Amino acid sequence: MTERTALELESVRRCFGSVVAVDDVSLSVAPGEFVTLLGPSGSGKTSTLRLIGGFEELDAGAIRIKGERIDHLPPYRRDTATIFQSGALFPHKTVAENVAYGLRMRKVERPERDERIRQALEIVRLQGYEDRYPSQLSGGQKQRVALARSLAVRPAILLFDEPLSALDLSLRLQLRGEIKRLHDELKFSAIYVTHDQGEAMAMSSRVAVMNKGRIEQIDRPEKIFHGPANEFVFTFIGESCCLPVRRGASEVTDRNGQAVALILQNSLPEGDSRLYIRPSRLKLAAEAQGLPNRLTATIHFIEFLGDMHRYHLKAGALEVFADHAGPIGHDVGALIDVGWRSEDMKVFR
Amino acid sequence: MSDVLARRGFEPVMLKALGAAFIVFIVAYILIPVLVTLVMSFNDAAMIRFPINAWSLKWYQDFFASPQWTDALKSSVIIATGTAIISTVSGILAAWAFERFPIPFKNALYLLIMLPLFMPGVVLGLGIAMTFGGVQIAGVNLYGSRALVMIAHSLWAMPLVFMLMEATFRTVDYRVVEASYDLGANPLRTFIEIVVPMVSTGVISSALFAFVISLNEFVMALFLTDRDTQTLPVLMWLSLRSAGTPRLAVASVILALTVFACLAIIMVWYVRQLRKVSRN
């Protein structure tokens, strides 16, 4: 167990006053694993990261790095390195001095220190920037220096605190790819905090979806996407349509009791339930023919999204939207069929 | 129509002229006392008096040839330096603690720290004189010593440093401090290597303000110094009562120049930092 984990959280708990920010979180990161904490703001993901880094104190539980308990140590005694959202570079130090800082604190002496600075800057492709000050760098370059600064000290675990969220979209995608490439190359262990599911899916070995201080599900990205463990995970990951339905004695109605033309392969549980479908999996009009689950609905309005047309449909109080490449040949007000396969649907009570 | 246009054209000219006149007045108002003193210091006569009939540097020679006056200048500089060190170190540490840690009765404490700034110099001077009048340390009288004046002047300088640094520390990006801890630097190391350089303009300004405050201070120095430790303002006041020679103007010019030099250093440092932090 000691050798198998880079980091281990055991029933970690952190409260701020009466608010439980991190609630009974257990998690282990294998060496070389890239684990993402994904969740909405306030879900406790950043607090969890700060507990690991030592910037918050634990109220209960244990944190181990390579099998040794570290939760009683101050941040400067922990073998972690954080890449902050803002980069948090030292403004009065040059790029090389920024990267050198952690090495100096770890008493890495001259020839080796210089070599490791050179390596780190090469890894993030910033050779030739040694003597620049942070103010002379672009946002993306700053984050690459922050990455080099953390990589140079070769910590047991790298902690990423939403490092890309302050950057614009194209830069975000580019750096995301670069972090992924670095991880494939260097096999560092990492915890990555983000609220961007694209980032989480693209980079992670495993994703932990967090909500209200708890981990709702932790698994490989494909498993999370295709087999969400619960309603929260389903709605948080990817887009989804929710149909709040009610099954009476004989027919299916909306919550107002109005009957809807809904045909399902498997019957719903009696009473109220919520039926979720991914809009990208919905088939419209003629394409819906022959699918086991169908709803007949009126086209409410149509959005043009570039690649796609998004059809907003209504059946009683039920609303769904479906994407279709190009127009389907029906206009607003038309009554059409929407269909989907049973595996693309989830029912929660 | 043309009437309105004409008036519109007229008003800004009027405003500009008024503005210019106001600026000239302010500048003159601020600089005239200094300029008059500067002019008077080159007076050849034995008395401070207009008109000036002959010009010379003789009072400068006289000033630097007189041990009494150079000693007073030395005393002033030593006391000002000591005050700058004491109040900068204590003010910065207090401000950092104030900014970083939860302290009970913070607002009341803030007012208490600021209180000496608003106290008349006579009150503080007399109070310190009475308190330390007979105190000896290692056989040396504390009263009349430069150390006591440094401590007294720090009563004024420290709150100022505290106020300045408290505001400066508020601008520090705390993530940068955390990054330093994160990379393995302990709090002391972080403070010296990361925090202080980030607020260097504030530190330099604090030290020089403290220096200038001490250099300018007269009342407390009058209460607390003796013949051997008297500062330049004290000696000037004493000699004004016996003989008002242009030597006094020379002393004034030296004090004023020191103040200008301090301000210049602050400006240069500020511009240097600005250049470092802003993108080229």
Q: What is the 3-state secondary structure (H, E, C) of B69-127?
A: HHHHHHHHHHHHHHHHHHHHHHHHHHHHHHHHCCCCCHHHHHHHHHHHHHCCHHHHHHH
Which residue in chain A is spatially nearest to B272 when comparing CA positions?
Answer: A92
Which of A202, A219, A236 is the last residue in one of the domains? A236
Q: Please, are residues A134 and A90 in contact by the beta-carbon 8 Å criterion?
A: yes
Q: Please, are residues A11 and A61 in contact by the beta-carbon 8 Å criterion?
A: yes
* CB nearest A86 (choices: B173, B182, B197): B173
Q: What is the dihedral of CA B58, B64, B70, B72, to 10 degrees?
A: 20
Token pair, residue B122, equals 């006579």
Q: Is position A86 within any domain?
A: yes
Contacts of residue B130, defined as CB under 8 A and 6 or more positions apart, other chains included, come to none
pLDDT < 50 stretches in chain A: 1-2
> Beta partners for A14?
A22
CA distances from A23 to A19, A37, A75, A214, A216 (A): 10, 14, 22, 5, 11
Which of A236, A263, A283 is the last residue in one of the domains? A236
In whole angstroms, what is the distance from residue B176 CA to residue B180 CA?
Answer: 6
Which of A236, A257, A285 is the last residue in one of the domains? A236
* pLDDT value for A238: 83
Q: What are the structural domain ranges in chain B?
A: 1-41, 59-277
Q: Is position A113 within any domain?
A: yes
Which residue in chain A is spatially nearest to B184 when comparing CA positions?
Answer: A76
> Beta partners for A320?
A313
Helix (H) or strand (E) holding A178: helix A169-186
Token pair, residue B175, equals 């993530």
Architecture of domain B59-277: Orthogonal Bundle (1.10)
DSSP symbols for A246-278 = EE-SS-EEETTS-B--EE-SSPPPSEEEEEEE-
Q: Please, are residues A62 and A71 in contact by the beta-carbon 8 Å criterion?
A: yes
Structural domain count, chain A: 2
Q: At what angle do helices B146-170 and B106-118 cross, to 10 degrees?
A: 130
Query: Is the domain of A190 the same as that of A297?
Result: no
Contacting A with CB below 8 Å, chain B residues are 173, 175-176, 178-187, 189-190, 193-194, 197-198, 200, 276-280
Q: What residues of chain A lie within 8 A of the CB of B198, using their CB?
A: 90-92
Query: Is the domain of A216 the same as that of A297?
Result: no
Beta strands in chain A (DSSP E): 7-16, 19-29, 34-38, 60-65, 68-69, 80-83, 157-161, 190-194, 206-211, 214-219, 241-247, 252-254, 262-263, 271-277, 283-284, 293-304, 309-315, 318-324, 335-340, 345-348
* pLDDT value for B279: 52
Total residue count of chain B as it appears in this document: 280
DSSP annotation of A162: S
To the nearest whole angstrom, how far is the Cα of A276 from the nearest Cα of chain B?
41
Helix (H) or strand (E) holding A50: helix A45-53
* pLDDT value for B4: 57
Query: Is the domain of A256 the same as that of A227?
Result: no
Query: Is the domain of A134 the same as that of A196?
Result: yes
Q: Please, are residues A138 and A89 in contact by the beta-carbon 8 Å criterion?
A: no
Query: Is the domain of A58 the same as that of A129?
Result: yes
Q: Is position A2 within any domain?
A: no
In whole angstroms, what is the distance from residue A1 CA to residue A68 CA?
Answer: 11
Which tens digits make up the pLDDT trace of B33-75?
Answer: 889 889 888 888 777 777 777 888 888 998 999 999 999 999 9
In whole angstroms, what is the distance from residue B118 CA to residue A252 CA?
Answer: 80
* Domain CATH for A12: 3.40.50.300
Query: Is the domain of A296 the same as that of A198?
Result: no
* DSSP-based three-state secondary structure for A340: strand
* Domain CATH for A274: 2.40.50.140
Q: What residues of chain B lie within 8 A of the CB of A82, using their CB?
A: 178-179, 182
Contacts of residue B147, defined as CB under 8 A and 6 or more positions apart, other chains included, come to B82
Q: Please, are residues A233 and A276 in contact by the beta-carbon 8 Å criterion?
A: no
* Interface test mutation site (partner A, options B176, B183, B189, max chain A beta carbons within 10 A): B183
Interface contact A153, partner B, CB < 8 A: yes
* pLDDT value for B3: 59
Which own/partner contact pairs does A211-218 have at CB distance under 8 Å and 24+ positions apart?
A211/A39, A211/A40, A211/A43, A211/A236, A212/A23, A212/A43, A212/A44, A213/A20, A213/A21, A213/A22, A213/A23, A213/A25, A213/A43, A213/A44, A213/A47, A214/A23, A214/A24, A214/A25, A214/A44, A215/A25, A215/A26, A215/A27, A218/A27, A218/A35
Say whether B178 and A90 touch across the interface (CB within 8 A): no
Neighbours of A248 (CB within 10 A): 11
Residue B179 one-letter amino acid? A
Query: Is the domain of A122 the same as that of A227?
Result: yes
Q: Is position A1 within any domain?
A: no
**Tell me, what's the ipTM?**
0.82
Half-sphere exposure of B37 (CA within 13 A, CB side): 16
Query: Is the domain of A212 the same as that of A260?
Result: no
What are the average pLDDT values for consecutive 10-residue runs of chain B, which has 280 residues? 57 85 93 89 79 84 91 95 96 90 89 91 90 80 87 94 93 92 93 91 92 93 90 90 82 91 90 72
Q: Tell me the residue range of the domain where A129 lies.
A: 7-236
Query: Is the domain of A188 the same as that of A311?
Result: no
Query: Is the domain of A194 the same as that of A100?
Result: yes
Q: Is position A125 within any domain?
A: yes
Say whether A76 and B200 touch across the interface (CB within 8 A): no
Half-sphere exposure of B255 (CA within 13 A, CB side): 27
Which residue in chain B is spatially nearest to A159 when comparing CA positions?
Answer: B182
Query: Is the domain of A47 the same as that of A108?
Result: yes
Interface contact A74, partner B, CB < 8 A: yes
* pLDDT value for A2: 46
Angle value at C-alpha B132, between B131 and B134, nearest 5 degrees: 115
In whole angstroms, what is the distance from residue A284 CA to residue A324 CA?
Answer: 8
Query: Is the domain of A322 the same as that of A221?
Result: no
Token pair, residue B102, equals 């939860």
